[in-house]
Amino acid sequence: MNRLLAAAALLLFGGAAHAKQPEIAITIDDLPVHAPYPPGVTPLEVNRRMIAALKAAHVPATAFVNGVNATDSATMQALRDWRAAGFVLGNHSWSHPHLSQLTIRQFEEQLTMGEPLLSKLGSGTDWRWFRYPFLDEGKDDEQRIAARKVLAKHGYRIAAVTMSFSDWAFTPAYARCMGKGDKAAVAKLERLYLKAARENIAASRDTARKLYGRDIPYLLLMHVSAMSARMMPQVIGLYRNAGCRLVSLPEAESDAAYAGYTDLGLPPPQSPQQLAQKKYVQLMRAPDHSAILNSICS
């Protein structure tokens, strides 16, 4: 089995003995609540299950908070548990709106409303990281630049996303299948979940190679969902078996590829699609599993 895993890693990451070990930073969005949940499952249970998996595997992680959902003692305890376990909490806006639907004044309000909570929980930590809700950086260049100025004014850096397998799309399907007690369907979801993660390693690596000529440290987007909490030990194992080193967000974004996300005085980074057009390259697209996820256990 170990030989098979080693062979798979060689195929996936190129196989050169002298090559730098690929790096992935795990980031978790939507703390403390990412619904829907299976019957009887609480947000606190989900947070604790995910924390336990990350801590047991000694994986650094940054988790992004929507303060509007810290509404009671249980959800507040979930956030305290993340900090007690040594993880960094960042800012995901107050209520997860689309930036393109806000004024810049409203965006600044969304940014700052959660700061008392983050500064209290994150005292002594590097908590001024921002993750755009829906990865929406603005409706046009003017708004995008204005939002970056607001973030710079408040001392933030932006947490980019360069790897994602749309784990959020599994959330409703998992809740439905667990609600029906359909063990076969849940097992199917688990297989599809890991398949999607593997596929997106290949797609993200293809993008980096074509745009930068090399592997970059990848910023993985996940969510604090019941499905992702259940699957986190297997996800960690998948990346490590593929030859990846799991690193922190600041370590990953120290790479020059992320300069436009950490130095907000620079022009906004171009999207992978824009860079691909300039380079006349076609980027690999991972398969879309939404049809299965929308239909299973419906």
Spans of all domains in the chain: 2-6+21-295
d(CA 133, CA 188): 29
End-to-end distance of the chain based on CA atoms, in angstroms? 37
Q: Compute the distance between CA of residue 218 and CA of residue 101 in angstroms, rounded to an integer.
A: 29
Looking at residue 229, its pLDDT comes to 98
Mean pLDDT in residue range 125-154:
98
Predicted confidence (pLDDT) per residue in 67-114, tens digit: 999 999 999 999 999 999 999 999 999 999 999 999 999 999 999 999
Determine the pLDDT at residue 20. 80
What is the pTM assigned to this prediction? 0.93
At 19, is the pLDDT very low, low, confident or very high (cuts 50, 70, 90)? low
Residue pair 161/135 in contact (Cβ under 8 Å)? The answer is yes
d(CA 145, CA 139): 11
Q: How far apart are CA 89 and CA 119, in angstroms?
A: 10
- Is the pLDDT score of 32 beyond 80? yes
Q: What is the H or E stretch that residue 148 is in?
A: helix 141-153
Query: What average pLDDT does the segment 212-218 reach?
Result: 97
182: pLDDT strictly greater than 80: yes
Q: Which percentage of the chain shows pLDDT scores above 90? A: 93
CA distance 28 to 62: 6
> Could you name the CATH architecture of 2-6+21-295?
Alpha-Beta Barrel (3.20)
State the amino acid at position 280 in one-letter form: Y
